[in-house]
A = this chain, B = another copy of it.
Amino acid sequence: MHPADPFLFQLFFIFVWAKLFGEVFERLTLPAVVGEILAGILVGPYGARLVVPDEAIYAIAEIGAIFLLFTVGLETNPKDLIRVGATSVYTALAGIALPFILGFGYMVMRHDPRHEAVFVAAAMVATSVGVTARVLGDMQILQTLSARIILGAAVIDDVLGMIVLGLVSSTATTWAPIIVTSLEAIGFALLMLFYAPRMVRRMEPGLQRMSTHDAPLIIALAICLGLSYAAVRIGMAAIIGGFFAGLAFADYSPRWNLRPRASAINEFLAPFFFFSMGARLDIGLFDRRLIISALILSALAFVSKLIGCGLPVLHAGWKNALKVGVGMTPRGEVGLIVALVGLETNVISASTYALLVFMTAATTLIAPPLMKLVFREDAQAQPALVERRSGMV
């Protein structure tokens, strides 16, 4: 009778399965996010098929990714990001060059076509700050030096990764549109870092005059959605817009009480994002040969980020280098988007697509436990952790 039946079914069971696996993982002292992804793999369309998400769920998952990055942005101080800027830039650059070279080299060695090798190399490039930020946030250590270098580098890395994707997927034969896309992306990032926080400050008197109930939250949400759309329009991932929107409001977040309320939206939407990531993995595609290739590619993806991103931080001690290196390894949604674009434009084959999805999943699954390990002492230095964990804030 009611048309919403299958949708509400998915909504309820995805939320419950994701949270159930998350709770089990937390009790095993593993990060909840891995559990939420695993829920998608095991009960999703390629697993037990208990819940098969449809388009509406994937749409909600996408909003979930945007609000995840919005919340991360709110917790990031733009001034700190600019202060760790130089290290973050070097980390991002080396962390892009090495995976690209190793990914390209391995695919050429396997006698894959050059254009396919270039695409795989591009998918190796972009770190998924979403997974990393969630783990750092769960551990309450977003304020440490390594965490800020990672978040700064991941932003630059995302922007550069999207430019690389633009380059390899561009059908243009001239350089002009590629240069335009690159300049747009860099301009967007600089604008949001240096100008947006000032703009928010100027908006404040106007916000207080507004009649709408709870105007600051509404405006922040509108700008979050607007920048996500703007990011997509100039050829970047929507999540980058969400992150910058959070960054722009970070200074005013305590005053307008934005963080706990953005977190509430995030608590509701994020499980759909992580479940969907797992639900997209078809484990049936893998035969022995593909598994070996996938394992080698995943190892290259891991090592290249570890070394590429760790080396520029070595001046701050090997422990910080290790933290940054490990924190930059997960690929996640950007890698999946690159794989999807490649498949939809027929540039890569179904088996190369499976390779990329495996690599994305492997780096995403292995990074959180390793991060828990290398960041352990930072988390122990947080005395308020236990009380804040219990959620009785």
| Cβ B225 vs Cβ A8 within 8 A | yes
| Cβ B225 vs Cβ A12 within 8 A | yes
**Which of B210, B214, B216, B390 touches A215 (beta carbons < 8 Å)?**
B390
**Known: A5-B232, A264-B217. Is A212-B32 also a contact (CB below 8 A)?**
yes
Residues of B within 8 A of A169 (CB): 1
| Cβ A340 vs Cβ B3 within 8 A | yes
Name the residue of chain B whose CB is nearest to the CB of A22.
B212
The reply on A16 being an interface residue by CB < 8 A is yes
Measured in the bound complex, the distance between the Cα atoms of B19 and A217 in whole Å is: 12
| Cβ B60 vs Cβ A59 within 8 A | yes
* Residues 18-36 of chain A, each 1 if its beta carbon lies under 8 Å from chain B, else 0: 0100110011000010000
Residues of B within 8 A of A303 (CB): none
Among the 9-residue stretches A85-93, A253-261, A314-322, A363-371, the one with 4 or more Cβ atoms under 8 Å from chain B is A253-261
Measured in the bound complex, the distance between the Cα atoms of B391 and A58 in whole Å is: 32
| Cβ B225 vs Cβ A11 within 8 A | yes
**Known: A12-B222, A215-B391, A262-B264. Is A235-B1 also a contact (CB below 8 A)?**
yes
Measured in the bound complex, the distance between the Cα atoms of B162 and A1 in whole Å is: 11
| Cβ B12 vs Cβ A238 within 8 A | no
Describe A's contact surface by its main secondary structure: helix
Residues of B within 8 A of A214 (CB): 263, 267, 391, 393
| Cβ A211 vs Cβ B56 within 8 A | no
Measured in the bound complex, the distance between the Cα atoms of B266 and A265 in whole Å is: 9
| Cβ A232 vs Cβ B8 within 8 A | yes
Residues of B within 8 A of A257 (CB): 260, 393
Most buried by B among A12, A208, A238: A12
Q: How far is the CB of A188 from chain B (nearest CB, A)?
A: 15
| Cβ B212 vs Cβ A16 within 8 A | no
| Interchain Cβ contacts under 8 Å between A and B, 19 examples | A1-B235, A2-B235, A2-B237, A7-B59, A8-B62, A12-B229, A16-B226, A19-B222, A23-B212, A55-B55, A55-B56, A59-B60, A60-B60, A207-B391, A211-B389, A214-B393, A217-B264, A255-B392, A261-B263
16 more contacts with CB within 8 A, not counting A7-B62, A56-B59, are A3-B340, A7-B59, A8-B225, A8-B228, A9-B229, A11-B63, A12-B222, A16-B225, A60-B63, A214-B267, A215-B391, A217-B264, A218-B267, A221-B267, A257-B260, A261-B267
Residues in chain A within 8 A of chain B (CB atoms): 1-5, 7-9, 11-12, 15-16, 19, 22-23, 26-27, 32, 55-56, 59-60, 62-63, 138, 166, 169, 207-208, 210-218, 221-222, 225-226, 228-229, 232-233, 235, 237-238, 255-257, 260-265, 267-268, 337, 340-341, 389-393
